[in-house]
Amino acid sequence: MMTTSKMLALLTKFSHLLNVDRNMNNNQLIHCAESIVESNEFYMMRLEDFQTCFNLALDGRYGEFYNRLDQPMIFGFLRKYMIERDTAIARKRDTEQNNSIYEVVQSDAVYQSLKEIADKLSIKEINEPMKLERKQDLGQLLLSEWDKLPTKDVAGIKLKIYNDHEFFAVNDYFSARLMEISDELKDDAQ
């Protein structure tokens, strides 16, 4: 848990590492530390996140200091860091989900299930001629569809849109499409 004393130590170190004429005094550092700890805005950040943010700010990642340091600048650094961090987390999660969906679609169980449905319904083709000669074909087809879907940006997170539904993860889209294909096969058989 982040305490005011830990935050104050980080802020003091940060301010001492800067070579600016208008630096923060002790009262300003204490007030800033208290404000950060009490803020609902940074509750999800760990001590390591704050340290990383301040290191990146020292490197100039979040802009110039213009010979001053104050609380609004520090809060601006923290907000920029949170956006970068959240974007990186979302990108990593999406990559992991994309990788796992390849495994799911290429699994023998999924292939066999779809083949059994098609065999039971005596269907050789789906609306568009979609011949599944190999188990990877369906996965590749769905991935190709996923890549072509329009996107919508919500708070810096890219969502894919299909039939007025928003999808963050490719595996959710795959599940919806597989259900849709299964329903289409059943309807065509009747």
* Residue 41 clears pLDDT 90, i.e. is over it: yes
Q: Residue written as tokens 């940060």?
A: 14
Give whole-number Cα distances, 12 to 20, 119, 133, 178, in Å.
14, 70, 65, 56
Is the whole-model pTM more than 0.85?
Answer: no
- What is the pLDDT averaged over residues 59-82? 94
**From the CB of residue 81, how many other CB atoms can be counted at a distance below 10 Å?**
21
User: For residue 128, is pLDDT > 60?
Assistant: no
* pLDDT score for 149: 87
pLDDT tens sequence across 73-96: 999 999 999 999 988 888 888 777
Highest mean pLDDT among 45-54, 88-97, 128-137, 160-169: 45-54
Q: Which residues pair with 161 in a beta bridge?
A: 166
Q: How confident is the model at residue 146 (pLDDT cuts 50, 70, 90)?
A: confident
* pLDDT score, position 114: 67
DSSP character at residue 99: H
Average pLDDT, the chain: 81
Task: State the average pLDDT over residues 145-158.
Answer: 81
Q: Range with the lowest mean pLDDT among 11-25, 33-47, 161-175?
A: 161-175
- Torsion, Cα 122 124 126 129, to 10 degrees, reads -170
Q: Using CA atoms, how far apart are residues 124 and 155, in angstroms rounded to an integer? A: 44
